[in-house]
Amino acid sequence: MPHPVGLPDLFLDRSLGRIKVPALLREHGLRLVTLAEQYGIPEDERVTDERWLRDAGRFGEAVLMKDTRVRYRVAEKSAIAQFRVRCFCLSRQNLRAEEMAARFLDNLHRITEACRDEGPFIYAVHEKRIDRIL
């Protein structure tokens, strides 16, 4: 399956891991880069959320992450707004890698549709739906 038309390239936050979730998403044809691939190891552990959010916004990437609390953090929220970042956060934090990938894949058509909007926004990704939370 190819990367969906209308879906920007994806940027995966460190919270989704370096190996398993990216591999599962790539198996379905998605074009993505992980934080570790973008900045290298061990820099990926030191790069600030504001920096990678800025860069993702500048590159026009949609962001997949695990932490819906980003909407409450002033600096991250500011970066999302300033650089028009399109974010998709898992609504549950305690999922295995296969479950995380499945949530994104099962909602891929919804995520693609949401990306018609230039952003900024944050969506919570549930099992069978996405909800805009910012």
CA distance 36 to 32: 12
Phi/psi of residue 121, nearest 5 degrees: -165, 165
* E strands, the chain, in order: 10-12, 32-34, 62-65, 86-90, 121-125, 130-132
Provide the whole-model pTM.
0.96
When pLDDT is cut at 50, 70 and 90, the band that residue 70 belongs to is confident
| Domain assignment present for 2 | no
Interval 5-40: pLDDT, tens = 999 999 999 999 999 999 999 999 999 999 999 999
| Domain assignment present for 120 | yes
| Domain assignment present for 29 | yes
Q: CB–CB of 79/87 below 8 Å?
A: no
Range of the domain at 86: 10-132
| Domain assignment present for 116 | yes
Q: With a cut of 90, say whether residue 88 has pLDDT above it.
A: yes
| Domain assignment present for 1 | no
